[in-house]
Structure 1
């Protein structure tokens, strides 16, 4: 009789109750790494964590000393790690470094390319994928480098942190003569250790996000969604678009756009090949120019944030974390069973900056017919600065039977569920 193979040994970086429980339901061979933010603010379930094989507590995933110490301890214990699951932006560098130390990757820069947008775009462009031209600014006060940006790039351009996320610290500059002023006024994101910048040519057109889950180079699922507005224009005034949601996206069903899905799969496979992505969740952002060309924006080797994870869960018919766990442990996932034919999600945000005077309760959001899920992240009295598109207030997941019904639902929700503010001062 042949021996039953042991289940894979999985490392989970950071705390998420749904992912940890889903993984432990499938295998006890789970190691969890928590950082200081997790233990101080995320209320880990220590009874659940007691079922894990081991729990490491560190200060910061960017500490090479702490990550190296975990790798050394695992090596001394004879642990043979099969997969590392890192589902947040700020654990990506540490998770990638741990994978290099444990021999899971033979490319020591692979995990860097998942975060550093310069290296990411360089590798993707070398693979023949259209992407915006860019120039690096190691020191924004270096006049020679700033002059090179003006000479080499066509304006408008977008200035962003090399390892940022969510359009935080990202600024559009329309004319060359504005660049110096914008650079002088930039406030570095306090969450980022590096203050290096990249400047990219602005790509106009429709913006999509593509959310997928991969195993051995093949997608368990691949879902295309269209943003209502490109992320960089969410905060722009646009009176002509007042009757449509400002911030959110909706799923583009494959039956309605088979050619788009074909072209996006082809682009995604090239991107994956360039970056060495074979397994796990991804969140890809792509522009479609007016002439139909698809242009790579960026990719995250993790599940999407904001409202998108809840929408993918509604599309699957079960929690996205269950799919991630099943793929990592068994190599398969339960068949998707969308809860409604047409799905999407909205971010409910105020029209401008100020102190919140009214924001819907989750029960109020869920009382609207067609709202499938709701999450409130702010409260009355909180301040909204309107400084970047990822200043989250509240999310709703929507579902309807037809595209027309969905569009009407999105407009109704936008009108009914409002976040109101009063001016500061």
Structure 2
């Protein structure tokens, strides 16, 4: 019997799915540490959790150490300290180091969370990634812009996905960014070379440093374009066949990157670009499962329980990789066309009539709900088909048929 403590800031949809999966792992007892109140964890799960320990700040490693030690002394000896939320990974890793528990330590996790450090490590190993500079003042930012040229990408040094990321097209826009961010050595601004090309993901599992499983998907369009154009209803497409030579470079580079960054056992979510000349450029790597419905999309593509397998991976270091990718899958994200509240949703009935047999998961936007701050929008539709083009056509149909009217 093994006992684990799962750390999450709040009981959101992702956390609840992982708690449910962990509770179903045989020979595993589970406690949960969070900032949230128990009432926000479904009762059917709460009654199965051995202990919920509430802390004031899950990003405070000292609080996590104290909570884990209390659980270890009063509930059961703790074997694993777990987290899938990127926001708490550093604190959890620091607590692991203090408690001498298995799992990625703070030095490894900082390679994934600190974006400039990540790029430095990758470039030092000869892996292709965009030129970048962590500018501590306006003069350094302008020097880098003069060296690399426009456009540039500005982002927070420890961002998640494309949140708070935007394109700086010229000197005037750079002036506005610098005026807003007021960079200092304590609070620098991260600038990167703008990479042109088709953006993809590489989601992978390693155990003991050895490749176990991988998946590749394509963003349609690139997330930075989605962030800059809030009206775009974007998509993620998982091709059925990813075994061909066109993906050989990212298979090799992706697993090399994980080794260089120090991930021995775990799951990663990597974003990468294929440029027009075919060259691969690595963007960012996270030591966590992918967002944008990628967990569900991979589950549907392979006809297996992705959440359960990741739960086993982080608790017992095992992962039963599926033998084949049975389907192509895709997600269409439904987004309000303007800030405010969702007033109408058009096209649901027609989309269900045309594509009902292909739809595997759906969350239709609800009239009256506020427009989401996330670029994933107010809803989504997941589809699958034996052929990649069948999914691509279905995604085109969904974003053309369904409209979320907000104001």
> Given the superposition, is the C-alpha separation of residues 52 and 354 from structure 1 closer, same or farther in structure 2, using an over 3 Å criterion?
closer
The Cα shift of 1:119 comes to 1.0
Q: In 2, Cα distance between the equivalents of 1:250 and 1:348?
A: 15
Question: Match for residue 356 of structure 1?
Answer: 342
Question: Match for residue 12 of structure 1?
Answer: 6
> Given the superposition, is the C-alpha separation of residues 50 and 341 from structure 1 closer, same or farther in structure 2, using an over 3 Å criterion?
closer
Residue deviations 1:28-52 (CA, integer Å, cap 9, x gap): 543433322x327x82135534544
Residue deviations 1:188-244 (CA, integer Å, cap 9, x gap): 9xxxxx954311111000100112233222344211001111111125569xxx9xx
Q: In 1, Cα distance between the equivalents of 2:86 and 2:315?
A: 22
Q: In 1, Cα distance between the equivalents of 2:352 and 2:312?
A: 29
Q: In 2, Cα distance between the equivalents of 1:153 and 1:105?
A: 38
Gaps of 5+ in 1: 1-6, 189-193
Q: In 2, Cα distance between the equivalents of 1:107 and 1:221?
A: 23
The Cα shift of 1:69 comes to 1.4
TM-score, scaled to structure 1: 0.82
Question: Match for residue 142 of structure 2?
Answer: 147
Aligned pair 1:169/2:154, yes or no?
Answer: no
Gaps of 5+ in 2: none
Aligned pair 1:208/2:208, yes or no?
Answer: no
Q: In 1, Cα distance between the equivalents of 2:55 and 2:349?
A: 37
Supply the RMSD in Å over aligned alpha carbons: 3.3
Q: In 1, Cα distance between the equivalents of 2:213 and 2:104?
A: 27
- Secondary structure of the residue that 1:164 maps to in structure 2? coil
Q: 2:332–2:380: 8 Å Cα contact kept in structure 1?
A: yes
The Cα shift of 1:339 comes to 8.6
Question: Match for residue 245 of structure 2?
Answer: 259
> Given the superposition, is the C-alpha separation of residues 99 and 362 from structure 1 closer, same or farther in structure 2, using an over 3 Å criterion?
farther
- Secondary structure of the residue that 1:254 maps to in structure 2? coil
Residue among 333, 340, 362 paired with 1:374? 362
The Cα shift of 1:352 comes to 4.2
The Cα shift of 1:315 comes to 1.9
Question: Match for residue 4 of structure 1?
Answer: none
Q: 2:32–2:49: 8 Å Cα contact kept in structure 1?
A: no
Residue among 29, 43, 46 paired with 2:40? 43
- Secondary structure of the residue that 1:26 maps to in structure 2? coil
TM-score, scaled to structure 2: 0.85
- Secondary structure of the residue that 1:304 maps to in structure 2? coil
Correspondences of 1:118-137 after superposition (within 5 Å): 118-137=116-135
Question: Match for residue 273 of structure 1?
Answer: 259
- Secondary structure of the residue that 1:91 maps to in structure 2? helix
Correspondences of 1:96-135 after superposition (within 5 Å): 96-103=93-100, 104=102, 108-135=106-133
Q: In 2, Cα distance between the equivalents of 1:82 and 1:265?
A: 33
- Secondary structure of the residue that 2:213 maps to in structure 1? strand
Which 10-residue stretch deviates more, 57-66 or 153-162? 57-66
> Given the superposition, is the C-alpha separation of residues 78 and 398 from structure 1 closer, same or farther in structure 2, using an over 3 Å criterion?
closer
Q: 1:226–1:251: 8 Å Cα contact kept in structure 2?
A: yes
Q: In 1, Cα distance between the equivalents of 2:403 and 2:176?
A: 35
The Cα shift of 1:80 comes to 6.3
- Secondary structure of the residue that 1:109 maps to in structure 2? helix
Aligned pair 1:62/2:59, yes or no?
Answer: yes
Question: Match for residue 90 of structure 2?
Answer: 93
Q: 1:375–1:394: 8 Å Cα contact kept in structure 2?
A: yes
Q: In 1, Cα distance between the equivalents of 2:330 and 2:182?
A: 33
Q: In 1, Cα distance between the equivalents of 2:397 and 2:21?
A: 35
The Cα shift of 1:356 comes to 1.9
